[in-house]
């Protein structure tokens, strides 16, 4: 699987641009190990899947065919644990590099079999210039709230039927191939970033088929939720200078009051969308903390 990751990055290198906020066109990389989930298309999606680069990272939009890409540990190093990785992008694009492939590669190096979920998205303008204008539109500043207030994250009000169906199909595929892939079906977790964190939470709260062993919402919405009685242990990460934090602790409070295991890391800085980390940010150690949390909770060994 390391060869796959290197091949993807090598392909993208030919389209290298400055690591700034400018949106650049990008030729779609080859994804030879991507497995179609056969969950259908997207209604009223006239535009084909296209890719772009921003902040040095490859991103995909107008995804109408969901896939699952496995990243297997080196032979003899797998511990049987599984993590489904859901990149973010406001359900309009997916940050496939820093919130997908790079995270999956890091997990595989720790002996965890990782799967990058490329889920279906809401349509965006077909032309890159129109999409760029939409991305750069003025946005109102977030309003201050508190932990008891209703979640003000607009993404929480979206219809995530397609995205949940894709996540459930990914989970079912992992269960079906567990023996061939050498994984423990009792240790399947899911982590997501931004909108991917929202999908992770949505699957936890509403799926009737996914039985996740643990979850890791990374810089997702922080509003309160109704916690299921059998909710999995949660590892939650966000930075205080992230616009999604907005002085909210609702989801943490909800998990705690429900008596479910929760670990929360509020970092001094990191902003939004930091993936595994950006230079000189306190949030850069979250992955180490996550691995320690998995280890202490015995998710890295067979039960």
Lowest mean pLDDT among 19-23, 190-194, 197-201: 19-23
Residue 46 has pLDDT above 90, yes or no: no
Q: What domains can be seen in the chain, in order of their start residue?
A: 2-137+149-296 (3.40.50.1820)
Hey, which of 36-45, 148-157, 229-238 has the most confident mean pLDDT?
Answer: 229-238
CB neighbour list of residue 208: distance below 8 Å, 6 or more residues apart: none
Q: Scanning the structure block, which residue is given the tokens 């003025």?
A: 138
> Looking at the whole model, is its pTM more than 0.95?
no
Q: Which pLDDT score, from 0 to 100, does residue 151 have?
A: 46
Contact 79, 113 (CB under 8 A): no
Contact 166, 119 (CB under 8 A): yes
CB neighbour list of residue 169: distance below 8 Å, 6 or more residues apart: 37, 38, 39, 66, 68
Mean pLDDT over the full length of the chain: 90
**Model confidence pLDDT, tens digit, residues 82-139:** 999 999 999 999 999 999 999 999 999 999 999 999 999 999 999 999 999 988 888 6
Helices (H), ranges, the chain: 2-13, 102-109, 128-135, 161-176, 178-181, 195-206, 250-257, 286-296
DSSP-assigned letter for residue 99: I
C-alpha distances out from residue 234 to 23, 28, 174, 254, Å: 34, 34, 21, 11
Q: Which pLDDT score, from 0 to 100, does residue 28 have?
A: 94
Q: Are strands 113-118 and 234-239 parallel, antiparallel or unpaired?
A: unpaired
Average pLDDT, integer, range 189-206: 98
């Amino acid at each position: 699987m390391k060869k796959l990751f290197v091949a993807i990055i090598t392909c993208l290198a030919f389209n290298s641009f400055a690591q700034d906020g400018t949106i650049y066109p990008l030729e779609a990389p080859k994804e030879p190990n991507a497995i179609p989930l056969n969950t259908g298309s997207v209604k009223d999606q006239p535009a084909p899947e296209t890719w772009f680069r921003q902040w040095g990272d490859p991103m995909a939009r107008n995804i109408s065919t969901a896939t699952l890409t496995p990243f297997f540990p080196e032979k003899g190093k797998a511990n049987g644990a599984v993590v489904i990785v859901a990149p973010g992008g406001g359900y309009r694009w997916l940050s496939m590099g820093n919130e997908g492939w790079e995270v999956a590669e890091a997990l595989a190096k720790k002996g965890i079999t990782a799967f990058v979920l490329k889920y279906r998205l809401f349509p965006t303008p077909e032309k890159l210039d129109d999409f760029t204008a939409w991305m750069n539109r003025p946005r109102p500043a977030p309003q201050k709230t508190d932990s008891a207030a209703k979640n003000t994250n607009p993404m929480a009000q979206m219809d995530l039927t397609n995205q949940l169906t894709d996540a459930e199909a990914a989970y079912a595929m992992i269960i079906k191939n567990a023996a061939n892939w050498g994984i423990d079906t009792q240790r399947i977790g899911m982590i997501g970033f931004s909108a991917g964190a929202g999908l992770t939470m949505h699957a936890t709260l509403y799926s009737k088929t996914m039985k996740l062993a643990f979850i890791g919402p990374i810089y997702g919405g922080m509003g309160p939720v109704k916690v299921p009685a059998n909710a999995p242990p949660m590892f939650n990460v966000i930075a205080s200078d992230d616009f999604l934090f907005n002085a909210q602790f609702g989801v943490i409070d909800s998990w705690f009051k429900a008596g479910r295991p929760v670990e929360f890391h509020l970092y001094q800085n990191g902003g939004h969308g930091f993936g595994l980390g950006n230079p000189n940010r306190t949030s850069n150690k979250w992955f180490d903390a996550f691995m320690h949390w998995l280890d202490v909770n015995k998710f890295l060994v067979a039960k």
